[in-house]
Chains A and B, each alone.
Chain A
Amino acid sequence: MYYYRGFGLIIASQIMLPELLPYTLTSTPDVHISIGKTPEKLTAAGTVHKVGYAINPNEYLLQFLNVANYYAANGNNIIVEPLAGSDEKSVRLFLLTGVMAAILHQRNAVALNAAAIKHLDGVVLFCGYAGSGKSAMLTKFIQNGYKPFCDDVCLIQHNDVKAMAAYPTIKNWENTFTGMGLPIPSTDNKIRPNLPKYATYFHDEFDTDALPVKTIFIIHKDHIAKSVEIKKLAGIEAFAEVHNNVYHRLQIYPMKKEAIHFQAISKLVANINVYQVTRSSNTGFDELFQTIQKHL
């Protein structure tokens, strides 16, 4: 059995998860990950069935063709059934994204799809749709001397407006490395064998403490924009933009978690600065970095 800290939880896993922070077991694990046979379908009342997955407030069944079946239940139990011919990296990738998202939602946690840097005594988050440049911006800030906090996901403690990092791994497309003049990591770092996307790690710098959220930048990519534009958001605009970045947001509706997210995100945006920053598809990350840095 392997033990890790990840997603603010102590995780006991039969699957090795190098993306997470190894943990010397001193307390009861919050989540158990085992290899086994998953249910063929979910039958509980209120289950919503979609192509490839089924979900209800306490269970999530993901059947990912040619990779694995995953079953997450009660916020503390995951069964993984790797399929014939699958590779370990692909199995881990969906385990650490959609399946762990379901576990977090089952536990009533609120998580954002965000990359983040440390700044002063807190953290600054970068949100935005896939491809907007969250991880690239994180990498640009690291290149300029800032410390990473998280990539992909962080948990929000709305009672004290703090964030907790999920795990110390950053995922970037190959062209991000070339565009920033950084060496392309080894093939071993590919997150899936045939995908030009690479993981880099910051285990030694990983901060397991919850830190105050200072600012959220919502990054948009706009093909018409000629330069970087930035706008401070307030009220429902800020709420809507941040709410759009709830981690695996579509899970919260069949899981009946709307109220928890509404209260948490409205409290969060009432206490921090939220900026919308728009870049053109041609705008280099230098200009985006400079604009964001001025508003930290």
Chain B
Amino acid sequence: MITLDTTIQRNTDNLLTSEVGDELVMMDMDGGNYISLNKTGRVIWEQIEQPVKVGDMVNRLTTRFDIDKETCAADTLEYLENMLAQKVITVA
């Protein structure tokens, strides 16, 4: 389970990415499945080019998007769990 203390990073080992319009389309080379990240996902993706602690990322997003920290943390954690399930990110 991902918490604010978890450090996460992009899973670039088996993932191909390509921009298609507003979406970032990704293919999991292991399973041959493809998924896309919406605007929220792309914002998170930009933040995790290097390994980052989730709490630090939530602080940055809170400042950038005029959203209260509690809501931002809840939404981010939920989205990150989905990204982990899709193997888009890994936990360091």
Contact = CB atoms under 8 A, between A and B. Distances in A.
Interface of A: 234-236, 238-240, 243, 253, 258-259, 262-263, 266-267, 269-270
A270 B29 contact: no
Nearest to A259: B16
Nearest to B36: A236
Contacts of A269: 20
A156 to B, nearest CB: 14
A266 B26 CA distance: 10
Given A240-B34, A243-B34, A258-B32, A235 B20 contact: yes
Contacts of B21: 234-235, 238, 270
A267 B18 contact: yes
Interface in B3-53: 16, 18-23, 25, 27, 29, 32, 34-36
Of residues A236, A267, A269, A270, which shows the largest number of chain B Cβ atoms within 10 Å of its Cβ? A236
A239 B23 CA distance: 11
Contacts of B19: 266, 270
B18 A262 contact: yes
- The DSSP consensus for interface residues of chain A is helix
A236 B33 CA distance: 12
Interface string B47-74: 0000000000000000000000000000
Of residues B18, B20, B25, B32, which shows the largest number of chain A Cβ atoms within 10 Å of its Cβ? B20
A259 B29 contact: yes
Contact of A239 (B20, B22, B29, B32): B20
Nearest to B29: A258
Contacts, number: 47
Of residues B21, B22, B25, which shows the largest number of chain A Cβ atoms within 10 Å of its Cβ? B25
Contacts of A263: 16, 18
Interface of B: 16, 18-23, 25, 27, 29, 32, 34-36
Contacts of B23: 234-236
A267 B22 CA distance: 13
A270 B20 contact: yes
Contacts of A270: 18-21
Contacts of A234: 20-23
A253 B29 contact: no
A238 B20 CA distance: 9
A177 B18 CA distance: 42
29 contacts: A234-B20, A234-B22, A235-B20, A235-B21, A235-B22, A235-B23, A236-B20, A236-B25, A236-B35, A239-B36, A240-B34, A243-B34, A253-B32, A258-B29, A258-B32, A259-B16, A259-B27, A262-B16, A262-B18, A262-B27, A262-B34, A263-B16, A263-B18, A266-B18, A266-B20, A266-B25, A269-B20, A270-B19, A270-B21
A258 B20 contact: no
B17 to A, nearest CB: 9
A4 B76 CA distance: 58
A293 to B, nearest CB: 25
Contacts of A253: 32
Contacts of B20: 234-236, 238-239, 266, 269-270
Of residues B19, B22, B23, which shows the largest number of chain A Cβ atoms within 10 Å of its Cβ? B23
B35 A258 contact: no
Contacts of B27: 258-259, 262
A53 to B, nearest CB: 19
A206 B23 CA distance: 37
B87 to A, nearest CB: 15
Nearest to A238: B20
A71 to B, nearest CB: 26
